[in-house]
Structure 1
Amino acid sequence: MLRPRIQTLYSLPVWRTAHPRLYTRTIRRAPSPCTTTISRRLTTSPRRFNELPNAAQPKQPGPIPASTAAIPPEQAAASDAQAAPNPPQQPKPPRRRRGAILYAAFFLLIGTTLGSLFRITIAPPDLPEPGTPEDEHLLAVIRRKAAALPLVQRLEADPEWTAWDAYSGFDDSQTSDTSDASDAGVAPMRRRREAHLTAGALAGSRGLAYQRVFRNNATGECLNVVYFGGGTAGWPGVVHGGCLATVLDESLARCAILRFPSRTGVTATLELTYKAPTRTEAFYVVRARPASGEAAPGKSDRKAWVEGSVETLDGRTCVLARALFVVPKGIKLAPLTGF
């Protein structure tokens, strides 16, 4: 509780002078309604100056009523607690649990995806061995995807193009004798397909899983739709340059040998220009056509220049090639069929 401010009003005698405006009888100040006015004469006595009038004396606390004194302290505290109003409770801020859950799920999905891609790229799973049930299942899936390609469907329906599977004409009953010292002169029998590089060592879903050849009988151009498996990679996910050179060599040789009357020949020159990376586990088109000036039939029975390329299904060039094939003199080579 604020104590009242004590304001003192002094009455000072003022002597009259010659002019009435230069004096006043008494200097007074109107008291404030919340203050106590004390009137006294001017004095220098410390005792009288410190005295307060009767109206300004502080009141002494009276005796406690008997009814209040008789109440026990516990009951008085309980009644005071009941009488006191409850303080207003501030509303709690809403919890943002939904946003936190969404953020956690989003970052968990990103981390799982990046981790899986990193693991597959750095340490890919083992590829199935050729001839296993897993390999046969993957080969069937790849063939179904190849049959659904628009390019394959268009060439299959065009009568100007002849189609066959690469190396399907190899006679499995034809064998070649090879000596093995560990077998004490016993010549093991190996099939021709298994002895071939692209049809044997690179067979299966992990190698050259699909090769479909199309040839235009009028122009001599050959197209080979190839699927490069995961086992053909040099860098992770990129086809090895040597594998591309092998496929181009055989595809360009097919275009040249089918024009030779002897149906055989060897590679004399092979030039390659790598334009863009070739990805594994994807379909590509290997084109081979006679070079400019070599398209006329019968131009040469022993030499032919062929140009080719490896392209994506949408026409982007990855590798350019140019090769010269010849029929050697003085050496009799067996004709190549069904390749």
Structure 2
Amino acid sequence: MSNISKMARLLRPQGAYAFKASSPSIARLHQQGPSRSAVVHDQAIPHSQSHVPASEAPPFLPSRQPASQSSESGAGLDSLVSHIPLVQSLRDTHSTYKESRPHLAIPSPIRQHHFVGGSLTGPGKLAFQPYMWLSTGKSGSKTRSDRASSVVSVFHIGQDLCGHPGFVHGGLLSVMFDEVFARCVSAAFPSGLGMTANLNVDFRKPALPDRLYVLRTETTKVEGRKAWVEGRMTYLPLAVPHAEGNVISDLSLLQEDHEGAVMVAEAKALFIEPKFADSMVSVYRN
């Protein structure tokens, strides 16, 4: 037998033994990894609130499972908007703002795939399609341009859009800024279309679910195909869904200047009118 054959016979069992010795440890890693992750996850966020005694439940978790909002509840929240003093002022016949609900103008086949108008809208999420009031060419605007514009939007954020339990996901606030900003700068471009080039959001206070939000935006500068816009978002003190029977005992809780109203974020953005705007699919019906 050659030296090479002898060497092969000596190495073969050692190689096999080394593999068998290492295999069980690898298998244990795969078996233990997921189970450990599951234990940590279960302890961090219980799958059911029945695991958490009412006396020990954190303040951001209700003592019982909240009932899912029905379409009737969403309609009730929608009608509640009419009681907001700001909305009543915007709807005044002498107001320079024009009311619209852009997402309702999206054709149904497109709306169901629209992020805000479709995916994020429904019970427990955005309970109703956002209201928007657009004013163009407002006197005294910092843009000093006939393409100046401002928008006031009112919407509701439910519990199913939280990140950490009890707090609205910050990414949703960014989405809402982006959505309303786009509406605001639409008056600055001939095509009515602007695409986000830059968006900066400063989060000031935690955003709470089951609140009505007011988002104010204003175009601050327009140069050719570029428009700069900024805004701030505030939630109103009234927690909705609220008391049984939807009876509002204190209408001041719907005031934006109430001491309980909280400004949760401010943002600035740059929008650019795309050169290919004419070839883009029309989202909103004219």
TM-score computed with the length of structure 1 as normaliser: 0.53
Cα distance in 2 between the residues matched to 1:142 and 1:254: 23
User: Alignment identity in percent?
Assistant: 27
Taking the TM superposition and a 5 Å limit, the aligned residue runs for 1:152-171 are 152-157=87-92, 158-171=94-107
Alignment correspondent of 1:205:
123
Cα distance in 1 between the residues matched to 2:67 and 2:112: 19
SS across alignment from 1:261: coil
Displacement after TM superposition at 1:217 (Å): 2.8
Contact 1:272 1:321 in 2 (8 A): yes
1 or 2 for the larger relative contact order (CA 8 Å, sep ≥6)? 2
Alignment correspondent of 1:125:
65
Against the structure 1 CA distance between its residues 122 and 256, is the aligned structure 2 distance closer, same or farther, given a 3 Å change threshold? same
SS across alignment from 2:280: coil
Taking the TM superposition and a 5 Å limit, the aligned residue runs for 1:82-121 are 115=55, 118=58, 121=61
Aligned residues: 198
SS across alignment from 1:251: helix
Residue 300 in structure 1 maps to residue 223 in structure 2: yes
Contact 1:263 1:336 in 2 (8 A): no
Against the structure 1 CA distance between its residues 247 and 226, is the aligned structure 2 distance closer, same or farther, given a 3 Å change threshold? same
Displacement after TM superposition at 1:118 (Å): 5.0
Unaligned 5+ segments in structure 2 are 1-53, 139-148, 237-255
Cα distance in 1 between the residues matched to 2:276 and 2:131: 34
Contact 1:303 1:324 in 2 (8 A): yes
Against the structure 1 CA distance between its residues 146 and 124, is the aligned structure 2 distance closer, same or farther, given a 3 Å change threshold? farther
Alignment correspondent of 2:247:
none
Taking the TM superposition and a 5 Å limit, the aligned residue runs for 1:137-156 are 137-156=72-91
Bigger Cα Rg: 1
Q: 1:246 aligns with which of 163, 168, 175?
A: 175
Contact 1:228 1:283 in 2 (8 A): yes
Cα distance in 2 between the residues matched to 1:338 and 1:301: 26
Contact 2:60 2:166 in 1 (8 A): no
Displacement after TM superposition at 1:258 (Å): 2.6
Contact 2:182 2:193 in 1 (8 A): no
Q: 2:163 aligns with which of 204, 223, 234?
A: 234
Contact 2:107 2:283 in 1 (8 A): no
Alignment correspondent of 1:216:
135
Cα distance in 1 between the residues matched to 2:264 and 2:285: 27
Contact 1:286 1:311 in 2 (8 A): yes
SS across alignment from 1:257: helix
Displacement after TM superposition at 1:193 (Å): 0.9
Alignment correspondent of 1:259:
188
Cα distance in 1 between the residues matched to 2:153 and 2:285: 14
The one-letter amino acid of 1:234's match is G
Against the structure 1 CA distance between its residues 334 and 317, is the aligned structure 2 distance closer, same or farther, given a 3 Å change threshold? same
Unaligned 5+ segments in structure 1 are 1-113, 129-133, 173-190
SS across alignment from 1:271: strand
TM-score computed with the length of structure 2 as normaliser: 0.62
